[in-house]
């Protein structure tokens, strides 16, 4: 006669199974008893589960937590109206306090105004406050003497000119304007584009 003996309880009645194939521990006959077993801080099952499913710090989360937030710079591009005579256009209305950092003009179509000491353009970046007060931030011209030539489809920036950092600080609602002042009879500016870089404050 063959005798079959139970060597281990491999699975409890409610599906509790020993970790890593080890026989189940303290099998209970009801869900309530099973829950109580797992929730008992001193139980072996609770300790084993805690060891397997303890929170793990993700490397990306750890790296992000260690990074100090920085203020990012933003860019806006505007297409003012063609300039056939002295005139101005708005570039942006400040949605929040900001600092204008740099600006450049791009002329898309030919002919571009040639450098000339008689017929020339002066371009200005202006701040217009909510109260309507206009303050010059920077100015640049295309004269032969002391100016910079304009080339078609080449950025003509204000980086090397004097920059009023106080005027370049805009409060919410202030306007950044771009103005062209013609002296003599200068060639028109066709399809200008102005790009401005700024930083939220």
**64 and 88 housed in the same domain:** no
Mean pLDDT across 118-138: 97
Mean pLDDT across 66-88: 87
Answer yes or no: is pLDDT of 16 > 60: no
**147 and 95 housed in the same domain:** yes
Phi, psi of 180 (to 5 degrees): -120, 130
**19 and 90 housed in the same domain:** no
- Stretch among 17-31, 32-46, 130-144, 185-199 having the lowest mean pLDDT: 17-31
- Stretch among 6-10, 30-34, 115-119, 141-145 having the lowest mean pLDDT: 6-10
CA dist., res. 150 & res. 134, Å (int): 26
Into how many domains does the chain fold?
2
**85 and 170 housed in the same domain:** yes
CA dist., res. 106 & res. 29, Å (int): 80
Question: What is the pLDDT at residue 60?
Answer: 72
Answer yes or no: is pLDDT of 23 > 60: no
**7 and 49 housed in the same domain:** yes
């Amino acid at each position: 006669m063959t005798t079959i003996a139970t060597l281990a309880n491999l699975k409890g009645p409610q599906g509790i199974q020993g970790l890593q194939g080890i026989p189940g521990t303290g099998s209970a006959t009801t869900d309530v008893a099973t829950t109580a077993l797992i929730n008992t801080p001193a139980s072996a099952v609770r300790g084993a589960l805690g060891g397997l499913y303890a929170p793990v710090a993700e490397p990306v989360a750890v790296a992000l937590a260690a990074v100090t937030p920085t203020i990012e710079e933003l860019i806006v591009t505007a297409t003012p109206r063609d300039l056939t005579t002295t005139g101005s256009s708005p570039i942006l209305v400040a949605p929040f306090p900001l600092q204008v950092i740099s600006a450049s003009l791009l002329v898309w179509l030919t002919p571009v105004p040639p450098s000339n000491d008689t017929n020339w353009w002066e371009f200005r970046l202006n701040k217009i406050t909510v109260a309507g007060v206009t303050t010059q931030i920077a100015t640049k011209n295309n004269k032969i003497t002391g100016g910079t030539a304009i080339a078609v489809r080449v950025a003509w920036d204000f980086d090397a000119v004097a920059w009023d950092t106080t005027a370049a600080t805009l409060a919410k609602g202030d306007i950044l304007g771009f103005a062209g002042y013609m002296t003599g009879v200068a060639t028109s500016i066709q399809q200008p584009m102005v790009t401005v870089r700024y930083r939220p404050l």
